């Protein structure tokens, strides 16, 4: 809950604001220019990933996990089964051990957090007054919050007594095969480890230790936590079914290098067909592609907004005029960045897939011609 707040009011003159906005022009220009190669690269990446997955889908073969067949060496294979390990992972500080693929210690500490609310007002003459209200709340956080950077003193956070950490098994088998370290790290499916049978220490780091809701609680009163109190829980990934598509290499697997230049190393928790895994990979590629497209367009828009910002600052000598110019320049930036984004994507797409793009353009031209001349033919036929 809110404990206290602190308000800071600052003012910036018109000439100072103009100077600041002019300095932003260079950064805006860099953003605007950087958006073009980003969008171009993304289209090439997307096409390469698509072609890689298409190639893989035509080459992949299903194999059994019961034996290693040398005939499949360096082939793209789809395999399913139970990923299991004999490794015992141990967190010695808390006496936790588990036969698991992954063991995670999850640490939360009760800390002060600084929130900032900013309000700005422009006055006649171009002066800008900014009011910042700093409020301080207590909350559980997974990371250490640096209270030395807080605007107001008196809200001190101690250092984290313990840090979160994750261990992975070094050897995980899939039937007769062994998974690579990168594949092991991608296996998901955390489940909580019960701590009720653990003989844990009653004091650690100068704090009493209690078992509350399957977590070690370091502090005096769990119902009324104090700054610096800690909650520690543990999760594991045990032996679990997985599905994998990769290149068989000896008794293990490695990424399959496609002719398109990409690689394939797909792993999903659960039993999935090869088609389902490729469909998920295509969907992921589409999401990444559209995310970067939108991100590139936003970067371009922000860059143009910074380029045009001096206009709204100059006009802010009359606040209503500055607001109108800010809206206008923002809209103008959008109207310029949108077609630039689309044109860059289109040209990049044509460059990376000329045959398909050329075919689509031809279909569009033929469709336009047919729509244009079809009414004339109908009229001529009716008159005849």
Whether 205 and 96 share a structural domain? yes
The answer as to whether 337 is a domain residue is no
Cβ partners under 8 Å of residue 103, min gap 6: 89, 90, 91, 96, 166, 167, 234, 235, 236
Residue 11 included in any domain = no
Q: What pLDDT band is residue 259 in, cutting at 50, 70 and 90? A: very high
Let me know if residue 1 belongs to a domain. Answer: no
Pair (149, 243) in one structural domain: yes
| Overall domain count for the chain | 2
Q: Does residue 247 lie in a domain region? A: yes
Share of the chain above pLDDT 90, in %: 57
Three-state DSSP state, 232 = strand
Tokens of 219: 């502090």
3-state secondary structure at position 123: coil
**Minimum mean pLDDT range among 130-134, 276-280, 286-290, 326-330:** 326-330
CB contact at 8 A, 234 and 262: no
The pLDDT assigned to 340 comes to 85
Q: Are 245 and 52 in contact (CB under 8 A)?
A: no
In a domain, 245, yes or no: yes
Q: What is the pLDDT of residue 165?
A: 95
Rounded average pLDDT over 71-95: 95
**Based on the domain organization, do 363 and 238 belong to the same domain?**
no
Does any domain span residue 103? yes
Query: Mean per-residue pLDDT for 211-232?
Result: 92
| Token reading at 82 | 């139970």
- Answer yes or no: are the C-beta atoms of 88 and 99 closer than 8 Å: yes
The predicted-structure confidence for 335-383, as pLDDT tens digits, reads as follows: 888 888 888 888 887 777 776 555 545 555 565 566 566 555 545 555 5
By mean pLDDT, which of 56-70, 224-238, 326-340 is the weakest?
A: 326-340
Instruction: Confirm whether 240 is domain-assigned.
Output: yes
Question: Are 294 and 35 a contacting pair, CB within 8 Å?
Answer: no
Q: What are the tens digits of pLDDT across the range 114-129?
A: 998 887 776 555 566 7
pLDDT bucket at 238, cuts 50 / 70 / 90: very high
The per-residue pLDDT for 370 is 62
**Cα distance between residue 227 and residue 110, in whole Å:** 5
CA 217 from chain centre, in angstroms, equals 32
Q: Is the pLDDT of residue 136 over 90?
A: yes
Q: Are residues 264 and 156 both part of a single domain?
A: yes
Which of 278, 302, 335 finishes a domain?
Answer: 278
Spatial contact of 283 and 275, defined as CB atoms under 8 Å apart: no
Give the residue-averaged pLDDT of 311-332.
Answer: 67
Quick one: 99 and 242 in the same domain? yes
The pLDDT score that the predictor gives to residue 350 is 78
Query: Which structural domain range is residue 274 located in?
Result: 79-110+140-278
Residues 278, 56: contact at Cβ < 8 Å? Answer: yes
Q: Are residues 87 and 189 in the same domain?
A: yes
- Claim to verify: residue 273 and residue 357 sit in the same structural domain: no
Q: What is the pLDDT of residue 361?
A: 55
How high is the pLDDT of residue 369?
62
* Mean of pLDDT values over 220-230: 91
Taking the C-alpha atoms of residue 284 and residue 279, their distance in angstroms, rounded to an integer, is 9
**Residue 137, number of CB atoms within 10 A of its CB:** 14
Q: Per residue in 31-58, pLDDT tens? A: 999 999 999 999 999 999 999 999 999 9
Boundary residue ending a domain (233, 259, 278) = 278
Q: What is the mean pLDDT of the chain?
A: 85
Nearest by Cα to 234 from 196, 287, 178: 196
Q: Are 172 and 270 part of one and the same domain?
A: yes
For residues 261 and 371, membership in a common domain is answered with: no
223 and 84 in a single domain? The answer is yes
How do beta strands 76-84 and 61-62 pair? parallel
Task: Tell me what pLDDT residue 185 has.
Answer: 96
Copy the structure tokens of residue 43: 């289209």
Q: Select from 278, 305, 324 the last residue of a domain.
A: 278
Instruction: Place 243 in a pLDDT band, splitting at 50, 70 and 90.
Output: very high
Residue whose C-alpha is closest to residue 170's, from 252, 243, 101, 95: 101
> How many residues comprise the chain?
384
Q: Is residue 248 part of a domain?
A: yes
Q: Identify the residue with better confidence: 272 or 128.
A: 272
40: tokens are: 């171009």
Q: Decide if pLDDT at 91 tops 90.
A: yes
| Short-list 310, 219, 240, 376, CA closest to 23 | 310
């Amino acid at each position: 809950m809110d404990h206290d707040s602190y308000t800071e009011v600052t003012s910036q003159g018109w000439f100072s604001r103009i100077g600041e906005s002019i300095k932003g022009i260079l950064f805006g220009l860099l953003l605007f220019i950087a958006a073009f190669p980003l969008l171009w690269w993304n289209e090439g990446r997307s096409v390469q990933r698509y072609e890689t997955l298409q190639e893989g889908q035509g080459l992949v073969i299903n194999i059994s996990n019961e034996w290693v067949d040398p005939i499949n060496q360096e082939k793209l294979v789809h395999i399913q089964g139970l990923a299991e390990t004999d490794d015992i992972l141990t967190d010695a500080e808390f006496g936790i051990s588990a036969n698991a693929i992954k063991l995670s210690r999850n640490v939360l500490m009760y800390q002060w957090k600084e929130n900032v609310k900013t309000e700005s007002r422009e006055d006649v003459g171009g002066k800008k007054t900014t009011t910042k209200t700093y409020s301080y709340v207590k909350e559980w956080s997974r990371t250490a919050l640096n209270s030395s950077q807080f605007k107001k003193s008196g809200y001190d956070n101690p250092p984290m007594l313990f840090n979160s950490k994750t261990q992975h098994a070094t050897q995980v088998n899939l039937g007769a095969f062994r998974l690579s370290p990168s594949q092991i790290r991608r296996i998901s499916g955390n489940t909580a480890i019960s701590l009720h049978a653990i003989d844990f220490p009653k004091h650690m780091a100068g704090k009493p230790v209690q078992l509350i809701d399957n977590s070690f609680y370091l502090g005096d009163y769990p119902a009324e936590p104090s700054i610096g109190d800690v909650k520690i829980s543990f999760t594991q990934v045990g032996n679990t079914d997985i599905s994998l598509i990769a290149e068989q290499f000896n008794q293990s697997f490695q990424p399959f290098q496609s002719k398109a230049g990409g690689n394939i190393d797909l792993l999903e928790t659960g039993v999935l067909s090869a088609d389902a895994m490729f469909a998920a990979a295509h969907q992921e590629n589409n999401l990444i592609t559209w995310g970067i497209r939108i991100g590139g367009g936003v970067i371009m828009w922000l860059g143009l907004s910074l380029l045009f910002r001096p206009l709204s600052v100059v006009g802010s000598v009359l606040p209503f005029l500055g607001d109108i110019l800010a809206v206008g320049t923002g809209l103008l930036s959008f109207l310029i960045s949108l077609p630039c984004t689309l044109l860059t994507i289109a040209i990049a797409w044509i460059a990376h897939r000329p045959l398909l793009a050329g075919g689509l353009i031809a279909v569009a031209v033929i469709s336009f011609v047919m729509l244009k001349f079809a009414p004339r033919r109908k009229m001529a036929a009716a008159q005849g």
